[in-house]
Amino acid sequence: MAKNLEKTAQKILGFAGIKINGNSPEDIKIHNPRVYERILTEGSLGLAESYMDGDWDCQRLDVFFYKILKERIDEKALEGLNFKTKIKLLAYRIKSKVFNLQNISRSKIVGKKHYDTGNYLFEKMLDRRMQYSCGYFKNAKTLDEAQEAKLDLICKKINLKPGMKVLDIGCGFGGFAKYAAEKYKVKVIGVTISEAQAIFAKKFCRGLDVEIRVQDYREISEKFDRIVSIGMFEHVGFKNYINFFTITNKLLKEDGLFLLHTIGKNTSEFSADPFIMKYIFSGGELPSLSQITKAVEESFVVLDVHSFGGDYDKTLIEWNKNFKENWNTINKNDHGKYDNRFKRMWEYYLLCCAGAFRVGNIQLWQIVLSKPLANVNYQSIR
């Protein structure tokens, strides 16, 4: 049985030029033959969890995922799944489409499960401005330079002026708020659903005209000159897209600008990868461009769309490098609360995403919006 499963796996992986127990960095080393049955019965979640459990290894997970996604090996493997697993996947997709997995009460789950993992982990993994979103590498050589370039690009795109009041929806660790307040002399209200992020952001922005709140975007009522949302829209969910833009329209002044920075998918789907959903971003969904433009029809005019998903590949590789180099320090500082399974899970998360961006399965967009009839003479900035 195991031998037959191994032959099937080698045949499928062979289409991508990947060998089992081969010598290339993208080849996989099998430590426990149960991995074949786990993938057959559990699909992509079985592949991920068997890696987390140490059943297999790969020197370059990013290249491994780039190759299997480029050749659509994931789709070929899906065809070979047993009936029970296919029913599970179908049930999950139906659940995602029927139920609102991102309502206000459930939105706090991702804050506690992912963003409250530990600030020290993120301090050691991210750049000095604590940006947990894609950097902009056009003229940058380092992660620090790329993240600062991203922040300045956003400020220029929304034409920040001293004295403006800016809302940062999903402010993370306060990096944008700090940069905008320091460099452009604006007042920033940053909201996050993570208690840990808010604690860090308040200290990070101390002494500046910045207010950090633990608050859902649906609970805000003030008016703002500018709004930004950087790496938060992935948690909104397609059932809430129209409401999200209706709310932000009400919060934005008539001549204001709104910049949305989000990961997106090429096609409209209603569920995320089971591994990402279970271990990384509970309730997360990636929008397609058509879903976004459809949702903004009644609330905004699209002024500019800038795509630079290739830079997220570079960003993720840098994050993984920092994570690996600082692993012992991270674990020691947090009193050993992370085990080796967590370490492998985190590396798998960062590198499978890097491979997906590299092959173009997922994108990164910055979208600039204004209210209808606002008569904004907007010039694209790159």
Active site residue 353: yes
CA dist 90 and 269 (Å) reads 13
| C-alpha pair distances (Å), 225 with each of 61, 161, 273, 306 | 43, 10, 37, 22
Written in H, E and C, the secondary structure of the chain is: CHHHHHHHHHHHHHCCCCCECCCCCCCEEECCCHHHHHHHHHHHHHHHHHHHCCCEEECCHHHHHHHHHHCCHHHHHHHCCCHHHHHHHHHHHHHHHHCCCCCHHHHHHHHHHHHCCCHHHHHHHCCCCCCCCCCCCCCCCCHHHHHHHHHHHHHHHCCCCCCCEEEEECCCCCHHHHHHHHHHCCEEEEEECCHHHHHHHHHHCCCCCEEEEECCHHHCCCCEEEEEEECCHHHCCHHHHHHHHHHHHHHEEEEEEEEEEEEEECCCCCCCCHHHHHHHCCCCCCCEHHHHHHHHCCCCEEEEEEECCHHHHHHHHHHHHHHHHCHHHHHHHCCCCCCHHHHHHHHHHHHHHHHHHHHCCEEEEEEEEECCCCCCCCCCCC
Catalytic-labelled residue, pool 134, 171, 352, 353 = 353
Q: Name the one residue in this structure whose structure tokens are 């499963």.
A: 5
Active-site annotation, residues: 353
